[in-house]
């Protein structure tokens, strides 16, 4: 996904400021009445396999089944009453749409989600179940942007972008704040990277607590734009992702790219087979349903044993919204 409201030429002038640690503390207070403080779980068996000490921050147990509710809730509840009453507009083919729908309902306002017409029925059903209106578009970024702009013009609503928004980033960072409160003195924290909202919030939170913590992104080989962007020092866009990790197919935004460039030590890559193996481990050993995106951080640790050997590592398990039929087909194919 690209920017919605800012044309490339206007980037420098209009780009909002990156959130700071204080914004994450404020977000934590703001969302506390609504969001779950999710558990941090451990597994001796997986620690033995990985050769290090892993702390799993279980955002699959968050409301709506993913970390996305944190950022959506913070952005929606930070609006003035007047702005909130205009209604919330966003574009999403996944967890952010459901999170915005839920946050809008809790705020007592309406939500409109622009979603590609090939969005899985189960995700559309979740968005509808929270009372949001769905406006279909073509599964192309240009169509998403055009339809979203039209909806904003028609409704006078307020846009809450899935990741290129300081309030959304600050909300996502609250997961790491809780993780570090529960498991202090971590050596490293690893979060999956897509548009970069979660990883940006993770990095700002971690370095606000302790600048020495190493922050890594975890990304599928088939959607490695963040890896290549950080390596080349410029934001790479326009590729067609190819991965089962349906939550990780977006591209870095104008706001998240500079944050990651400053804070993230490295983006580590794994292929889909490694993701499926890690996902299976979490299902079987930890008894947790996680979606492919949520298993990428563990896949990275298992692929890079030397780097993390003997260290204390926090993993953001980003979500658990997965079709059980699809998951069993992946497991069957892999075995």
- The residue ranges that bind its own copies (CB under 8 A) are 39, 41, 44, 60-61, 63, 65, 280, 283-284, 286-290, 320, 324-325, 327-328, 331-332
Nearest approach, Cβ of 42 to its own copies (angstroms)? Answer: 9
Number of other residues whose CB lies within 10 A of the CB of residue 120: 15
Q: Which residues contact 134 (CB under 8 A, 6 or more apart)?
A: 112, 113, 115, 124, 127, 128
Residue among 175, 207, 180 nearest 191 (CA): 175
Of the two residues 50 and 327, which places its CB atom closer to its own copies in the complex? 327
Nearest approach, Cβ of 104 to its own copies (angstroms)? Answer: 16
Nearest approach, Cβ of 327 to its own copies (angstroms)? Answer: 8
How many Å apart are CA 77 and CA 176, to the nearest integer? 20
Which contacts (CB < 8 Å, 24+ apart) does range 21-24 have? 21/204, 21/205, 21/207, 21/208, 23/166, 23/167, 23/170, 23/173, 23/204, 24/170, 24/173, 24/174, 24/177, 24/201, 24/204, 24/205, 24/208
Of the two residues 6 and 40, which places its CB atom closer to its own copies in the complex? 40
Q: What CA–CA distances, in Å, run from 239 to 95, 160, 224?
A: 22, 24, 9
Residue among 259, 260, 330, 262 nearest 291 (CA): 330
Of the two residues 207 and 280, which places its CB atom closer to its own copies in the complex? 280
Helix, strand, or coil (residue 32): coil
Nearest approach, Cβ of 210 to its own copies (angstroms)? Answer: 27
Of the two residues 33 and 211, which places its CB atom closer to its own copies in the complex? 33
Of the two residues 38 and 274, which places its CB atom closer to its own copies in the complex? 38
How many Å apart are CA 4 and CA 178, to the nearest integer? 31
Of the two residues 240 and 287, which places its CB atom closer to its own copies in the complex? 287
How many Å apart are CA 108 and CA 88, to the nearest integer? 11
Locate tokens 């290549």: which residue? 228
Nearest approach, Cβ of 81 to its own copies (angstroms)? Answer: 25
- Is residue 115 a contact partner of residue 92, using CB atoms and an 8 Å limit? yes
Six-digit token string for 314: 């926090």
Question: What is the full DSSP assignment across 100-140?
Answer: HHHHHHHHT--EEEEEETTS-HHHHHHHHHTT-EEEEE-SS
**Which residue spans within 214-285 are E strands per DSSP?**
214-220, 266-270
Nearest approach, Cβ of 73 to its own copies (angstroms)? Answer: 15
Of the two residues 5 and 328, which places its CB atom closer to its own copies in the complex? 328
Of the two residues 63 and 161, which places its CB atom closer to its own copies in the complex? 63
Nearest approach, Cβ of 328 to its own copies (angstroms)? Answer: 3
Of the two residues 7 and 287, which places its CB atom closer to its own copies in the complex? 287
Nearest approach, Cβ of 323 to its own copies (angstroms)? Answer: 9
Nearest approach, Cβ of 58 to its own copies (angstroms)? Answer: 8
DSSP β-bridge partners for residue 55: 314
């Amino acid at each position: 996904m690209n920017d919605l409201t800012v044309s490339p030429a206007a980037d420098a002038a209009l780009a909002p400021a990156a959130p700071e640690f204080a914004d994450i503390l404020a977000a934590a207070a703001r969302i506390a009445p609504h969001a779950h403080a999710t558990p941090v779980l451990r597994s001796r068996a997986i620690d033995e396999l990985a050769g290090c000490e892993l702390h799993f921050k279980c955002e699959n147990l968050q409301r709506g089944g993913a970390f996305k509710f944190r950022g959506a809730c913070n952005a929606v509840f930070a609006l003035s009453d007047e702005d909130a009453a205009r209604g919330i507009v966003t574009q999403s083919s996944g967890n952010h749409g459901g999170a915005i729908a839920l946050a809008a309902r809790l705020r007592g306002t309406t939500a409109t989600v622009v979603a590609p017409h090939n969005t899985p029925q189960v995700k559309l059903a979740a968005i509808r179940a929270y009372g949001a209106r769905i406006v279909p578009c073509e599964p192309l970024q240009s169509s998403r942007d055009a339809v979203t702009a039209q909806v904003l013009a028609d409704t006078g609503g307020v846009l809450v972008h899935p990741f290129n928004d300081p309030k959304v980033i600050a909300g996502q960072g609250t997961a790491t704040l809780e993780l570090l409160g529960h498991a202090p003195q971590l050596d490293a924290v690893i979060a999956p990277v897509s548009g970069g909202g979660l990883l940006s919030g993770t990095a700002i939170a971690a370095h606000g607590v302790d600048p020495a913590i190493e922050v890594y992104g975890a990304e599928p080989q088939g959607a490695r734009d963040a890896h290549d962007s950080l390596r080349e020092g410029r934001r790479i866009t326009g590729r067609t992702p190819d991965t089962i990790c349906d939550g990780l197919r977006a591209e870095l935004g104008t706001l998240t790219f500079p944050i990651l460039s400053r804070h993230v030590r490295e983006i580590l890559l794994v292929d889909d087979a490694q993701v499926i193996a890690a996902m299976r481990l979490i299902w079987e050993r930890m008894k947790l349903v996680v979606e492919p995106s949520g298993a990428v951080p563990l896949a990275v640790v298992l692929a890079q044993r030397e780097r993390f050997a003997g260290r204390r590592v926090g993993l953001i398990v980003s979500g658990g919204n997965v079709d059980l039929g699809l998951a069993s087909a992946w497991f069957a194919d892999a075995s």
